[in-house]
């Protein structure tokens, strides 16, 4: 078996790493944690100029026509640099569903703008019910003439303050839990949309979004009315795997800076990396990181090939969620006290590891899904 990247994928990874090393230093990460927008527009424009936003879109929509596996390689580099940007919400959570289920008119309206970096989008899915199932969708959309009127509350919505449009998941009909769900492309600046900022451990910009009599044209329905949950499920598979790739990148960076520290830090007259206890911790870290990468890329390859991968995606999320956190914990132990101060980079990654661990379901949630997939 050959797990190596091909020449084009190596070029993508190397060019992304070079660009982000130069344009996204940790000083910028710290600055964006207290910035109102939470992301630098010049970095976003630079990413767009490199074609990153359109990587997974066909050329007819100003994209590159590459696969989800290629996209995962790029996202790993974003996670390695913990890039502050609305890339995942815009491209993965919203752009890919539009590509998969949108009308020709919707694709022409949204995808080229996303690919060129001219539009930011976010997904309004999660609610106070704290459920990832259709049964947790309480936000309602009622038909009135040629519009729908949306009322309800969404929680933990990323980058809602800078979004041009939101992909809103709402209930249009009562019935079985997977029925009566419809997706709407909602102008984020519509009257009746109220945002409240939330504090997060990873300093990501997340919001409570309240919809009060928000009007949406019927032409802005994504997919079929009352049958939108299948689109959500497909999107969640891609979004979950994208989170895994992002976490793999972060874990890799934590591993590298910890091993480097273990080689340089001298105690009792020798580098601490010469002590067996430290060596074993580093061995645990590299095992976690490589295991996380292989299980993520196996699922990404299957997704890119159009093969069934529900089991593999949940296996990856269950493993990577905890592997990233364990890697950060071992890194903190090896760094000692310096790793816990705000001026050190370790805490930047640990806080994001905890935040990413919960995105699209934690390890226990995905273990349940794995159990279901194997017939338990």
Beta strands in the chain (DSSP E): 121-124, 140-144, 147-158, 165-171, 181-187, 193-198, 206-217, 221-222, 266-267, 270-271
DSSP summary character for residue 227: B
What is the pLDDT confidence band of residue 74, given thresholds at 50, 70 and 90? Answer: very high
**Same-domain check for residues 270 and 348:** yes
Look at residue 375 and give its three-state secondary structure.
Answer: coil
Q: What is the pLDDT of residues 210-260, one digit of tens each?
A: 999 999 999 999 999 999 999 999 999 999 999 999 999 999 999 999 999
CATH number, domain with residue 222: 2.40.110.10
Number of domains in the chain: 3
Please check whether residue 188 lies inside any domain of the structure. Answer: yes
According to the model, what pLDDT value does residue 1 have? 63
Please check whether residue 184 lies inside any domain of the structure. Answer: yes
Please check whether residue 238 lies inside any domain of the structure. Answer: yes
Q: Is the pLDDT of residue 70 over 90?
A: yes
**Bridge partners, 197 (sequence order):** 207
Q: Rounded CA gap, 373 and 312, in Å? A: 10
> 4 or 69: whose pLDDT is higher?
69
Return the CA Rg of the chain.
21
User: What mean pLDDT is predicted for residues 288-292?
Assistant: 97
According to the model, what pLDDT value does residue 4 have? 85
Please check whether residue 36 lies inside any domain of the structure. Answer: yes
Q: Is the pLDDT of residue 327 over 90?
A: yes
According to the model, what pLDDT value does residue 174 have? 86
Look at residue 166 and give its three-state secondary structure.
Answer: strand
Q: Is the pLDDT of residue 175 over 80?
A: no
**Same-domain check for residues 165 and 264:** no
User: What mean pLDDT is predicted for residues 315-329?
Assistant: 97
% of the chain residues with pLDDT over 90: 90
**Same-domain check for residues 240 and 356:** yes
What is the pLDDT confidence band of residue 101, given thresholds at 50, 70 and 90? Answer: very high
What is the pLDDT confidence band of residue 87, given thresholds at 50, 70 and 90? Answer: very high
According to the model, what pLDDT value does residue 110 have? 98
According to the model, what pLDDT value does residue 337 have? 85
What is the pLDDT confidence band of residue 191, given thresholds at 50, 70 and 90? Answer: very high
**Same-domain check for residues 114 and 194:** no
CA separation (Å) from 192 to 157, 166, 187, 210, 241? Answer: 16, 14, 11, 8, 33
Please check whether residue 13 lies inside any domain of the structure. Answer: yes
**Same-domain check for residues 105 and 140:** no
**Same-domain check for residues 24 and 105:** yes
Q: Is the pLDDT of residue 170 over 70?
A: yes
Final residue of a domain: which of 120, 137, 162?
A: 120
What is the chain's mean pLDDT, rounded? 95
**Same-domain check for residues 140 and 167:** yes
pTM reported for the whole predicted model: 0.95
Look at residue 66 and give its three-state secondary structure.
Answer: coil
User: What mean pLDDT is predicted for residues 311-327?
Assistant: 97
CATH number, domain with residue 313: 1.20.140.10
Which residue range(s) make up the domain with 206? Answer: 122-227
**Same-domain check for residues 257 and 368:** yes
Q: Which residues of 130-152 are buried (b: 16+ CB within 10 A; e: fewer)?
A: eebebeebebbbeeeeebbbbbb
Q: What is the pLDDT of residues 5-52, one digit of tens each?
A: 999 999 999 999 999 999 999 999 999 999 999 999 999 999 999 999
User: What mean pLDDT is predicted for residues 70-84?
Assistant: 97
**Same-domain check for residues 176 and 186:** yes
- Is the separation of the CB atoms in 318 and 296 below 8 Å? no
Final residue of a domain: which of 227, 247, 280?
A: 227
- Is the separation of the CB atoms in 43 and 24 below 8 Å? yes
**Same-domain check for residues 108 and 139:** no
According to the model, what pLDDT value does residue 335 have? 94
What is the pLDDT confidence band of residue 178, given thresholds at 50, 70 and 90? Answer: confident
Phi first, then psi: what are they for 197, rounded to 5°? -70, 145
**Same-domain check for residues 263 and 350:** yes
According to the model, what pLDDT value does residue 2 have? 74
Half-sphere exposure of residue 151: CA atoms within 13 angstroms, side-chain side: 5
**Same-domain check for residues 11 and 114:** yes
CATH number, domain with residue 92: 1.10.540.10
Please check whether residue 94 lies inside any domain of the structure. Answer: yes
Look at residue 45 and give its three-state secondary structure.
Answer: helix
- Is the separation of the CB atoms in 348 and 201 below 8 Å? no
Q: Of 1-10, 136-145, 245-254, 290-299, which gets the smallest average pLDDT?
A: 1-10
**Bridge partners, 216 (sequence order):** 148
Please check whether residue 2 lies inside any domain of the structure. Answer: no
Final residue of a domain: which of 227, 242, 277?
A: 227
Please check whether residue 263 lies inside any domain of the structure. Answer: yes
């Amino acid at each position: 078996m050959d797990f190596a990247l091909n020449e084009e994928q190596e070029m993508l990874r190397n060019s992304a790493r070079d660009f982000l090393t130069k344009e996204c230093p940790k000083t910028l990460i710290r600055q964006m944690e207290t910035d109102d927008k939470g992301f630098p527009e010049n970095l976003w424009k630079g990413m767009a100029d490199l074609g990153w936003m359109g990587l997974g879109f066909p050329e007819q929509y100003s994209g590159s026509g590459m696969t989800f596996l290629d996209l995962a390689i790029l996202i790993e580099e974003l996670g390695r640099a913990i890039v502050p940007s609305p890339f995942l919400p815009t491209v993965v959570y919203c752009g890919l569903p539009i590509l998969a289920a949108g009308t020709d008119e919707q694709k022409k309206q949204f995808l080229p703008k996303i690919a060129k970096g001219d539009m930011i989008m976010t997904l309004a899915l999660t609610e106070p019910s704290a459920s990832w199932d259709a049964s947790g969708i309480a936000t309602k959309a009622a038909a009135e003439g040629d519009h729908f009127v949306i009322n309800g509350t969404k929680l933990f919505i990323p980058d809602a303050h800078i979004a041009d449009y939101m992909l809103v998941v709402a209930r249009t009909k009562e019935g079985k839990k997977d029925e009566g769900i419809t997706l709407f492309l909602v102008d984020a600046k519509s009257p009746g949309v109220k945002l409240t900022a939330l504090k997060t451990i990873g300093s990501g910009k997340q919001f409570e979004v309240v919809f009060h009599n928000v009007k949406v044209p019927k032409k802005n329905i994504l997919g079929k009315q009352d049958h939108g949950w299948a689109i959500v499920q497909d999107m969640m598979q891609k979004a979950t795997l994208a989170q895994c790739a992002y976490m793999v990148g972060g874990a890799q960076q934590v591993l590298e800076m910890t091993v480097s520290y273990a080689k340089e830090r001298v105690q009792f007259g020798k580098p601490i990396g010469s002590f067996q206890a430290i060596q074993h911790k580093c061995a645990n870290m590299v095992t976690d990181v490589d295991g996380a990468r292989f299980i993520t890329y196996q699922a990404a390859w299957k997704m890119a090939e159009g093969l069934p991968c529900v089991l593999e995606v949940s296996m990856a999320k269950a493993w990577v969620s905890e592997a990233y956190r364990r890697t950060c914990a071992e890194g903190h132990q090896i760094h000692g006290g310096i790793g816990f101060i705000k001026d050190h980079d370790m805490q930047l990654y640990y806080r994001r590891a905890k935040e990413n661990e919960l995105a699209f379901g934690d390890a226990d949630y995905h273990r349940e899904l794995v159990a279901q997939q194997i017939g338990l």
